[in-house]
Amino acid sequence: MRSSCAACQHRAGSEVTPWATLWDRTSAKHQKYSLHLEQTWPEAALVDPALTLSLPQVVTRDSNLDALSHALESIWNVNANPVSDGLAVQAARTVIHHLPALLKDPTDQHLRTLASQASLFAGLAFSNTRTALAHNISYEMTLKHGLSHGLACSFTLPMVWRLAQGRDRQRDSVLQSVFGADVHDPATALEKFLESVGVSSHFEDYGVSAADAQALIQSSMQGARGKNFIGSTA
């Protein structure tokens, strides 16, 4: 089976990854399933920013935040490598620097092109590494609390960044390069960026108590994606 894939959002970079996702919301135990086969690698990818011009604002925001999550998750990842690092840093910088402007002017074709490029680069990055803790947390936030995937896998990024800090000197250096050496607290800078696009970084704002949030974080450390996190206890 051969496939050619086209991107219609600034999201998963799925046109350059082998994963397909199924969400089961009909059974008693809601679950997310990922399909990964040799045949699901696309043979060709089409990235045309014009296909994203009609996206609603909330989809534009959440899909860009999904790309940002893919980028950062591939950095604080036990499978990170120099190739994935370079792609991830460029993708993260692009989303952080340009998403606020894109939300103000969603018909700007140059900004749409930058967002499409960021999604592509982030997809290429995590196709090397897979995702990590923020994504493992996100699945329950989507299935049980109704958050869109892009929101669910991005609102925890400042928290996960703080958990990653100090685990590995090289990972710290790559993460620091996202904001630059002049930013002394990049996790807080990321939190402020999310606030600027209308996203809270606090579990309680999504109906999750502190105790339940801590339990979710700990259980997610043991999950398939959580084990890719450099701070995993698994």
Q: What is the DSSP code string of 23-45?
A: EE-SSSS-EEEEEE-GGGS-SEE
Residue 176 inside a domain? The answer is yes
Tokens 């296909």, located at residue: 51
What pLDDT sits at residue 26?
Answer: 73
Q: Are 30 and 143 in contact (CB under 8 A)?
A: yes
Residue 34 inside a domain? The answer is no
Residue 26 inside a domain? The answer is no
11-65 pLDDT, tens digit each: 566 766 766 666 666 776 667 666 666 766 677 788 889 999 999 999 999 999 9
Give me the domain span that covers residue 210: 52-228
Residue 64 inside a domain? The answer is yes
78-102 pLDDT, tens digit each: 999 999 999 999 999 999 999 999 9
Which CATH number do you get for residue 66? 1.20.1090.10
Residue 85 inside a domain? The answer is yes
Q: What total number of domains does the chain contain? A: 1
Q: Are 145 and 207 in contact (CB under 8 A)?
A: yes
What pLDDT sits at residue 162?
Answer: 98
Residue 215 inside a domain? The answer is yes
**DSSP annotation of 154:** T
Residue 159 inside a domain? The answer is yes
Threshold 0.85, pTM exceeds: yes
Residue 156 inside a domain? The answer is yes
